[in-house]
Amino acid sequence: MHPTHLPLRAVTGAYILNSGLSKLGADEETAAGLHGMASGAYPFLEDLDAGTFTKVLACGEIALGGALLAPMVPSAVAGTALAGFGAGLVGMYLRTPGMTREDGIRPTEAGTPLAKDAWLVGAGLTLATQSFLSGTKAVARSAGRSVHEAASSVGDSVRKAVPFTG
């Protein structure tokens, strides 16, 4: 993990881990509310029991929060997972009636708690993109060194085989 990723991963990881842990003990009313909101935006979730949905959501948040906090998980992996999770929340915001103003983007007062989750998408994309670009640079440097070494070796071989007499 690059040291500059530490603050972003620590804050988002702790926040999401706490959210997941708090959902583990959710009562039936809370579970029904979470399930209702999610299944309203994503109809394929309707057939899932509210309690089961809440436990799965809690475990997913705990896993994501843990991945963000664990330095051995590459930032590209943790960032991609964070961006996907955030995109799901933003999708729920955009699909739930009453969350956006007439323009379909800006939040209503009720939509603000969900609209703020857009930062998760940005944070995840930042981690994933920076990791990808850092990895690309490292590969390019390594390839450049290999090409330079190969060219030097070929040059040395040519100089030995064909003495310069100029």
Distance CA 64, CA 1 (A): 16
Predicted pLDDT at 77: 93
Classify 107 as helix, strand or coil. Answer: strand
Domain ranges, ordered by start, for the chain: 3-159
Distance CA 32, CA 125 (A): 31
Tokens describing residue 73: 């998980």
Task: Give the DSSP per-residue string, 61-98.
Answer: HHHHHHHHH-TTS-HHHHHHHHHHHHHHHHHHHHHSTT
- 107 DSSP β-pair partners: 100
Long-range CB contacts (within 8 A, 24+) of 27-30: 30/54
Rg (C-alpha) for the chain, rounded Å, is 25
SS3 content of the chain, % helix, strand, coil (to 5): 75, 0, 20
pTM: 0.77
Distance CA 40, CA 43 (A): 6
User: CB–CB of 86/124 below 8 Å?
Assistant: yes
Burial (CB count within 10 angstroms: exposed 0-12, middle 13-18, buried 19+), residue 79: buried
Predicted pLDDT at 49: 95
pLDDT along the chain (166 residues), means of 10: 88 96 95 95 95 96 96 93 94 92 92 90 92 64 60 64 60
